Amino acid sequence: MARKKLIAGNWKMFTLSAGAAQLAKAVADELTADENLLVAVCPPFPWIASVAAVVKGTPLLVGAQDVYPAKEGAFTGEVAPEMLLDAGASYVIIGHSERRHVIKESDSLINEKVKFSLASGLKVIYCIGETLAQRQANETNAVLEQQLSSGLAGVDAAGMANVVIAYEPVWAIGTGVNATTEQAQNAHAFVRSQLAKTYGENVAQAVLIQYGGSVKPDNAKDLLSQPDVDGALVGGASLKADSFLAIVRAAMG
């Protein structure tokens, strides 16, 4: 079956208010509605509402980089799904390797975030990926299987309609080293086979699986041409409109 592609920009902890609005507008101004392609940007929390206002009425979607699994409460510094929706976000990134390895988020917390976000009406970009040591020890598939089962525990087939998987090998994030097209395709095909075991072939064939990890204009077309690569989660290259738009164009075929 033909799947849409999703190109999402993860701005991480970059941009100030004016620059965020300018970047979002520059991207939105170049987008035309395409039923086969979704494009999103995920600014830092403080800029979500202003970016959403700038891109309102355009095809550009807005996401957040994290969330807390509660409706409200005494959780100093945290942001609830309902707040993100109210600010104009429709997607949220959960389980990014920087949150797993730098912020030390546990599998159980990540799973709570996934389930609560879906129940609140957010679409989830769920990140998985192995470290260099794990790849060198031939543990890639075992790591991906474990992260899929732990992160998606309690998510049913209907819930998977609002889940995007982002395969991001940790050794390729921000390093300038990206997986070869063969490595990316093999990992994506494995992820789809695991989804089929859990949810059945129909669900597995419908789920979008993005690649992330040093995606740039010069490697995007080859990566996105792979049969099981359904888009990209873009880091550094999403901070400049021209490079991000070049990746968007590569997804158009």
**95 is known to lie in a ligand binding site:** no
Is 145 among the catalytic positions? no
Judge whether 212 and 179 are in contact, CB under 8 Å: no
Please identify which of the residues 98, 130, 168, 188 carries the catalytic annotation. Answer: 168
φ and ψ at residue 33, rounded to 5 degrees: -60, 130
**10 is known to lie in a ligand binding site:** yes
Is 101 among the catalytic positions? no
Which helix (H) or strand (E) segment is 217 a member of?
A: helix 217-224
**12 is known to lie in a ligand binding site:** yes
* Placement of tokens 């998977």 in the chain: 160
**11 is known to lie in a ligand binding site:** yes
**235 is known to lie in a ligand binding site:** yes
**174 is known to lie in a ligand binding site:** yes
Q: CA–CA distance from 139 to each of 77, 106, 133, 187, 239 (Å)?
A: 36, 19, 9, 12, 32
Please identify which of the residues 82, 96, 101, 105 carries the catalytic annotation. Answer: 96
- The residues annotated with a catalytic role in the active site are 96, 168
Annotated binding site for substrate: 10-12, 174, 214, 235-236
Q: Which residues are annotated as a binding site?
A: 10-12, 174, 214, 235-236
